[in-house]
Structure 1
Amino acid sequence: MAAPKPIHAYDVSETGVASVVSDLNTALSEGGYRWVHLDLSDPNAFDWISEQADPVVADALMRADTRPRMAEHADGLILIMRGVNLNPNSDPEDMVSLRLWVTDRLVITTRLRRLMAVSEMAEQMARGSAPTTPADLVCALSQGLTARMEPVLEALVDEIDDLEERSVDRASRLRGELAEIRRTTITLRRYLAPQRDILARLSLEDAGPLHHPHVRVTLRETADRLARLVEELDMIRERSSILNDQMVDARAEEMNAAMLLLSVVAAVFLPLGFLTGLLGINVGGLPGAHWPYAFALVCASCLGLAGGLVWWFRRKGWL
Structure 2
Amino acid sequence: MSERLAFRLDGRGGAKEIAFPEVIADAVGEGVLWLHLSGQPDEIDGWVEASGLDPLAVAALTAEETRPRCTVHEETILMNLRGVNLSPGAEPEDMVSLRSYLSERLVVTLQRRPLYAVRDVLAECQAGHGPDSPGELIARIALRLADRAEPVVMSLNERIDDLEDQALEAKGMVRRGDLADVRRVAIMLRRYMFPQRDALTTLEIEDAPWLHRAGRGRLREATERVTRLAEDLDAIRDRSQIVHDQIMDARAEAMNRQMLILSVVAALFLPLGLITGLLGINVGGIPGAETGWAFWGVCGFLGVVVVFQLWLFRWMGLIGKGRGQSAGLP
Q: With the length of structure 1 as denominator, give the TM-score of the two structures.
A: 0.90
1:11 aligns with 2:12: no
Alpha-carbon shift at residue 250 of structure 1 (Å):
2.0
* 1:239-258 correspondence to structure 2 within 5 Å: 239-258=239-258
1:36 aligns with 2:35: yes
What's the CA shift string for 1:233-255, capped at 9, x where partnerless?
22222222223222222222222
Residue pair 2:200, 2:219 contacting (<8 A) in 1 also: yes
Structure 2, unaligned runs of 5 or more: 320-330
Distance in 1 (alpha carbons) for counterparts of 2:208 and 2:39: 26
Indicate the residue corresponding to 1:270 in structure 2.
270
Indicate the residue corresponding to 2:92 in structure 1.
92
Distance 1:70 1:22, change over 3 A: closer
Distance in 2 (alpha carbons) for counterparts of 1:222 and 1:23: 31
Distance 1:217 1:229, change over 3 A: same
| Residue type at the aligned position of 1:300 | G
Indicate the residue corresponding to 2:186 in structure 1.
185
What's the CA shift string for 1:269-299, capped at 9, x where partnerless?
1111112222222223222223222222222
Distance in 2 (alpha carbons) for counterparts of 1:212 and 1:203: 10
Higher mean C-alpha displacement, 305-314 vs 45-54? 45-54
Q: Percent identity?
A: 42
Distance in 2 (alpha carbons) for counterparts of 1:222 and 1:254: 48
Q: With the length of structure 2 as denominator, give the TM-score of the two structures.
A: 0.87
Residue pair 1:6, 1:37 contacting (<8 A) in 2 also: no
Q: Which runs of 4+ in 1 moved over 6 A?
A: none
Say which SS state the counterpart of residue 42 (structure 2) adopts: coil
1:289 aligns with 2:289: yes
Residue pair 1:11, 1:32 contacting (<8 A) in 2 also: no
Distance 1:139 1:112, change over 3 A: same
Distance in 2 (alpha carbons) for counterparts of 1:316 and 1:91: 56
RMSD: 2.2
* 1:191-210 correspondence to structure 2 within 5 Å: 191-207=192-208, 209=210
Distance in 1 (alpha carbons) for counterparts of 2:160 and 2:28: 53
The number of equivalent residue pairs is 314
Residue pair 2:143, 2:225 contacting (<8 A) in 1 also: no
Distance in 2 (alpha carbons) for counterparts of 1:56 and 1:82: 21
Say which SS state the counterpart of residue 100 (structure 1) adopts: strand
Distance in 1 (alpha carbons) for counterparts of 2:8 and 2:146: 24
Distance 1:246 1:114, change over 3 A: same
Distance 1:72 1:162, change over 3 A: same
| Residue type at the aligned position of 2:93 | E
Residue pair 2:21, 2:27 contacting (<8 A) in 1 also: no
Residue pair 1:40, 1:62 contacting (<8 A) in 2 also: no
